[in-house]
A and B are shown apart, each in its own frame.
Chain A
Amino acid sequence: DAMVIQNPRYQVTQFGKPVTLSCSQTLNHNVMYWYQQKSSQAPKLLFHYYDKDFNNEADTPDNFQSRRPNTSFCFLDIRSPGLGDAAMYLCATSRDSGDSSYEQYFGPGTRLTVT
């Protein structure tokens, strides 16, 4: 089945220790997104890629970086995680950000704990 896969599902890291979260997709969608979601809050968009074009949200901290080496894979790097970065990180894909009807498909998320 075509899908969005995130690894790991649960990640524990220490304060200040770099961590990388990964996302892959078999949907062949050209747009990929990274969201941060804290409990009972709206998903917050961190970045999105339209093909290889990188789009950084204005309020995404510099501590967060992203890479998309090819269509299928996307990575989220947190250079120095703080306690406030503990959250669910959701990867999503869609076919084309220029067509308003295309919904986003989400991976299962990675729950990050910072100790």
Chain B
Amino acid sequence: GQNIDQPTEMTATEGAIVQINCTYQTSGFNGLFWYQQHAGEAPTFLSYNVLDGLEEKGRFSSFLSRSKGYSYLLLKELQMKDSASYLCAVRDSNYQLIWGAGTKLIIKP
């Protein structure tokens, strides 16, 4: 079967750095997405990786290793508004998105 694993919950301090990991086992790979979802709201797109390496976008970076079936989302200079769930999703060989359950990130002052 297809599977996306992420930690259920993480806690970090305002101003710090946090890394959210995602491991995947899917039938084929056509890219990995990270989405942010605030409580009660829709997911919003953060990043896309299809080649190995690091993609940087402001305070957020995303890393991919296809050989290891692994990605992480790195959030720097954490702000209270970054409190949200972060969902990892992989596009499989049929171009369907397989979603993880998300990591709830709690930011403390």
Contact = CB atoms under 8 A, between A and B. Distances in A.
Interface of B is mostly: loop
Contacts, number: 47
B95 A101 contact: no
A105 interface: yes
A42 B99 contact: yes
Contact of B40 (A42, A43, A111): A111
A35 to B, nearest CB: 8
Size category of the binding interface on chain B: 20 to 34
Contacts of B44: 106
A97 B42 contact: no
A41 B99 CA distance: 9
Interface stretch (B66-74, B75-83, B100-108): B100-108
A103 B50 contact: no
Contact of A104 (B45, B50, B101, B102): B45
A76 to B, nearest CB: 15
Contact of A103 (B45, B87, B96): B45
A21 to B, nearest CB: 14
B4 A42 contact: yes
Contact of B48 (A44, A101, A107, A108): A101
B104 A40 contact: yes
Interface of B: 4, 8, 30-31, 33, 40-45, 48, 50, 85, 87, 91, 95-97, 99-102, 104
Interface of A: 40-45, 88, 90, 97-98, 100-101, 103-109, 111
Given A40-B104, A43-B87, A103-B45, 17 more contacts: A40-B85, A40-B101, A42-B102, A43-B43, A44-B99, A45-B96, A97-B95, A98-B95, A100-B31, A100-B50, A101-B50, A103-B48, A104-B97, A105-B45, A106-B42, A107-B42, A109-B41
